């Protein structure tokens, strides 16, 4: 009989730790809800002691998530562990995840502790956490560069102190599949009491082997794998959840492992994480990249037309990739629209449905046909919790190759209109400058990308911007068949988050 492996998602902690991937509290709650739909076993919601924002989002996620366990990271320090517990105590299945480094280099240079001191800290920390929380995970940071014999002693100590999950992270992405598999086997053979705990792995992608290493550990018998959506994470990222899960599914003959993931939620989760973090996916990204199911060469196209399995080892439907077929038009009624949204798997509230339907009608007026991909984009762009200090009223753009681009913008704040105009290097630049004049704040634009939702000249364009001001960084999203309009909405969305203080603050130096 197949074994089941638990999926521990750390998108909201290790993923969010990567440069430029920070999310607002509302966005984290939205991602957590989607992770639950996806079917992950554990959601690592953050590092409670790291910031007020982290604490708050862990607390809100703990209240909202019912089926998955919710974990908070904590250094092996009493203060960290107590705050982690406070943040997760209302979760249906709380888990404290405490860690300390076990490699000689980390112990000597970072912690300035001896091996014996580290063993003592592990014992104290795990005992404290176990006294507070029914489930405790212990991680031996930099495990793959640790002396394996010492590592085994640390793990034994953690299990004796009450850890029910022991994690063996490849913190710096250094190991190789064969070596990692052997390390797991050694731990399974040599640690007394190991059968009382679940062995977990956590891999970083510095040498591009995070997924391969994770799968090698899965073959070596671990019971939990840690990963992130789209592989986001520190430096080169973490092992990508979608790649691990689709490898297990597609090569069941090799792995013979089950997991609780509903693979049809993969594409949607990937899109959500990409847009809330403002990180575009490379087109050739495995499983979820734009080209993952595109066949360009004539030979491949010919093969796929006669039999998909000639060049397709998994089908787009398996990850829930919505089709681009025409589904609705401007004469479609609310009832048909609502049932389409439901059949796409969204449980939108009546208020959300009203808003999406209003936007669908506007879109159907501009675009002859509206596809599932368009509807998904409208839903993702809704962001119900986003602040709206300034609301766009209207804009006029003048541009061309023989004139200086100018933009005139009118926005509403607390019922009062503000209007201004500006010139710029291009129409988008002019529009952004006009917005800044009205608001009276200069924003530093750090990133900007445009994506077309479907093919065709009347396609909706999605603009994502990342910008900074007042010590906060925000990601803004905008969607429109007019790309300048999408850019203005995205800029305003990010500006509002900064002004409202919901955008994550930069850590104090
Ligand atoms: O990479 C790592 O070692 C970690 C631990 C805190 C689990 O993220
Ligand atoms: Zn990590």
Q: What are the tens digits of pLDDT across the range 311-338?
A: 889 999 999 987 655 568 888 888 888 8
CA 176 to chain centre: 25
Cα-to-centroid distance, 169 and ligand 1 (Å): 6
Q: What are the tens digits of pLDDT across the range 4-48?
A: 999 999 999 999 988 778 899 999 999 999 999 999 999 999 999
CB 140 within 8 A of CB 169: yes
Q: Which of 14, 77, 206, 214 gets mutated to test ligand 1 (max ligand atoms within 8 A of its CB)? A: 14
CB 480 within 8 A of CB 362: no
Task: Using pLDDT thresholds of 50, 70 and 90, give the confidence band for residue 217.
Answer: very high
pLDDT at residue 457 tops 90: no
CB 12 within 8 A of CB 492: no
80-89, 142-151, 485-494, 498-507 — which is least confidently predicted? 498-507
pLDDT at residue 140 tops 90: yes
User: With pLDDT > 70 as the criterion, what percentage of the chain qualifies?
Assistant: 96
Q: Which of 9, 47, 73 gets mutated to test ligand 1 (max ligand atoms within 8 A of its CB)? A: 73
Closest atom, ligand 1, to C-alpha of 143: 3
Q: Which of 141, 163, 172, 234 gets mutated to test ligand 1 (max ligand atoms within 8 A of its CB)? A: 141
pLDDT at residue 490 tops 70: yes
Position 366 scores a pLDDT of 87
Cβ-Cβ contacts under 8 Å for 357 (sequence gap 6 or more): 334, 337, 338
- E-state strands within 13-157: 42-47, 69-75, 94-101, 136-141
Cβ-Cβ contacts under 8 Å for 433 (sequence gap 6 or more): 407, 422, 423, 424
Q: Is 171 in the pocket of ligand 1 (CB under 6 A)?
A: yes
Which is higher by pLDDT, 302 or 448?
Answer: 448
Q: Considering the entire predicted model, what is its pTM?
A: 0.88
Cα-to-centroid distance, 10 and ligand 1 (Å): 10
Which is higher by pLDDT, 22 or 131?
Answer: 131
Closest atom, ligand 1, to C-alpha of 14: 8
Cα-to-centroid distance, 191 and ligand 1 (Å): 21
Q: Dump the DSSP string for 167-223.
A: EEEETTS---HHHHHHHHHHHHHHSTTGGGSEEEEEEB-TTS-HHHHHHHHHHTT-S
User: With pLDDT > 90 as the criterion, what percentage of the chain qualifies?
Assistant: 78
Task: Using pLDDT thresholds of 50, 70 and 90, give the confidence band for residue 114.
Answer: very high
Question: What's the CA gap between 431 and 405, in Å, rounded?
Answer: 9
Kindly state the average pLDDT of the residues 486-491: 96
Q: Which two tokens stand for residue 184?
A: 């797991």
Kindly state the average pLDDT of the residues 470-485: 93
CB 171 within 8 A of CB 206: no
Q: What are the tens digits of pLDDT across the range 66-93?
A: 999 999 999 999 999 999 999 999 999 9
Position 509 scores a pLDDT of 45
Q: What are the tens digits of pLDDT across the range 200-215?
A: 999 999 999 999 999 9
Cα-to-centroid distance, 369 and ligand 2 (Å): 44
Q: DSSP class of residue 370?
A: E
- CA-based max dimension of the chain: 78
Question: What's the CA gap between 281 and 272, in Å, rounded?
Answer: 12
Kindly state the average pLDDT of the residues 234-254: 97
Position 479 scores a pLDDT of 93
CA quadruple 383, 283, 506, 136: dihedral positive or negative? positive
pLDDT at residue 258 tops 50: yes
| Closest C-alpha to 136, from 231, 41, 71, 214 | 71
Residue whose Cα lies nearest atom 5 of ligand 1: it is: 141
Kindly state the average pLDDT of the residues 164-185: 98
Closest atom, ligand 1, to C-alpha of 172: 1
Side-chain half-sphere CA neighbours of 252 within 13 A = 10
Q: Is 202 in the pocket of ligand 1 (CB under 6 A)?
A: yes
Kindly state the average pLDDT of the residues 122-138: 98
pLDDT at residue 297 tops 70: no
Closest atom, ligand 1, to C-alpha of 204: 1
Position 43 scores a pLDDT of 98
Kindly state the average pLDDT of the residues 480-496: 95
Position 508 scores a pLDDT of 53
**159: buried, middle or exposed (CB in 10 Å: 19+, 13-18, 0-12)?**
buried
Q: DSSP class of residue 228?
A: B
Question: What's the CA gap between 161 and 131, in Å, rounded?
Answer: 10
Q: Is 169 in the pocket of ligand 1 (CB under 6 A)?
A: yes
Q: What are the tens digits of pLDDT across the range 381-419?
A: 887 788 999 999 999 999 999 999 999 999 999 999 999
Taking the CA of 170 as reference, the closest ligand is 1
Q: Which of 169, 206, 226, 238 gets mutated to test ligand 1 (max ligand atoms within 8 A of its CB)? A: 169
Cα-to-centroid distance, 385 and ligand 2 (Å): 29
Residue whose Cα lies nearest atom 7 of ligand 1: it is: 139
């Amino acid at each position: 009989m197949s074994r089941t492996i638990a999926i521990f998602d750390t998108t909201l902690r290790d993923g969010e730790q990567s440069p430029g991937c920070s999310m607002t509290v509302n966005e984290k709650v939205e991602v957590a809800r989607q992770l639950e739909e996806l079917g992950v076993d554990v959601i690592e919601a953050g590092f409670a002691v790291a910031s007020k924002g982290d604490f708050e989002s862990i607390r809100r996620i703990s209240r909202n998530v019912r089926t998955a366990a919710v974990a908070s990271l904590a250094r092996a320090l009493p203060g960290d562990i107590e705050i982690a517990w406070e943040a997760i105590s209302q979760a249906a299945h709380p888990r404290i995840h405490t860690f300390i480094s076990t490699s000689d280099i980390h112990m000597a240079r970072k912690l300035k502790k001896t091996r014996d001191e580290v063993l003592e800290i592990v014992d104290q920390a795990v005992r404290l956490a176990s006294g507070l929380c029914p489930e405790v995970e212990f991680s031996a940071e930099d495990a793959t560069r640790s002396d394996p014999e010492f590592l085994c002693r640390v793990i034994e100590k953690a299990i004796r102190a009450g850890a029910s999950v022991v994690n063996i992270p490849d913190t710096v992405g250094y190991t190789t599949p064969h070596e990692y598999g052997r390390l797991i086997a050694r731990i399974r053979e040599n640690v007394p009491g190991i059968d009382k705990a679940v062995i977990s792995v956590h891999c970083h992608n510095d040498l591009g082997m995070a997924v391969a290493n994770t799968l090698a550990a899965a073959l070596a018998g671990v019971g939990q794998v840690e990963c992130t959506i789209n592989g986001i994470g520190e430096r080169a990222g973490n092992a990508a959840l979608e790649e691990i899960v689709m490898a297990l599914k597609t090569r069941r003959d090799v792995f013979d492992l089950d997991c609780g993931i509903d693979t049809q939620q993969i594409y949607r989760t990937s899109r959500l994480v990409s847009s809330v973090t403002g990180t575009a996916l490379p087109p050739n990204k495995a499983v979820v990249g734009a080209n993952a199911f595109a066949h360009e060469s004539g030979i491949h196209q010919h093969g796929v037309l006669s039999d998909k399995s000639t060049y397709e080892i998994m089908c787009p439907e398996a990850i829930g990739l919505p089709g681009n077929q025409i589904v609705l038009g401007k004469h479609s009624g609310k009832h048909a629209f609502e049932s389409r949204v439901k059949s796409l798997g969204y449980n939108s509230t009546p208020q959300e449905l009203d808003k999406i339907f209003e936007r669908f009608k506007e879109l159907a007026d501009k675009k002859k046909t509206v596809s599932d991909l368009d509807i998904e984009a409208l839903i993702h762009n809704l962001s119900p919790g986003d602040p709206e200090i300034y609301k766009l009223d209207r804009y006029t753009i003048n541009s061309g190759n023989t004139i200086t681009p100018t933009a005139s913008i009118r926005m509403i704040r607390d019922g009062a209109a503000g209007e201004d105009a500006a010139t710029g290097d291009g129409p988008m630049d002019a529009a952004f400058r006009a917005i800044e004049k009205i608001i009276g704040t200069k924003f530093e634009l750090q990133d900007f990308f445009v994506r077309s939702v479907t093919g065709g000249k009347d396609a909706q364009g999605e603009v994502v911007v990342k910008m900074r001001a007042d010590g906060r960084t925000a990601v803004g999203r905008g969607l429109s068949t007019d790309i300048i309009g999408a850019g203005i909405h995205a800029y305003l969305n990010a500006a509002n988050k900064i002004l409202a203080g919901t955008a994550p603050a930069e850590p104090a130096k």
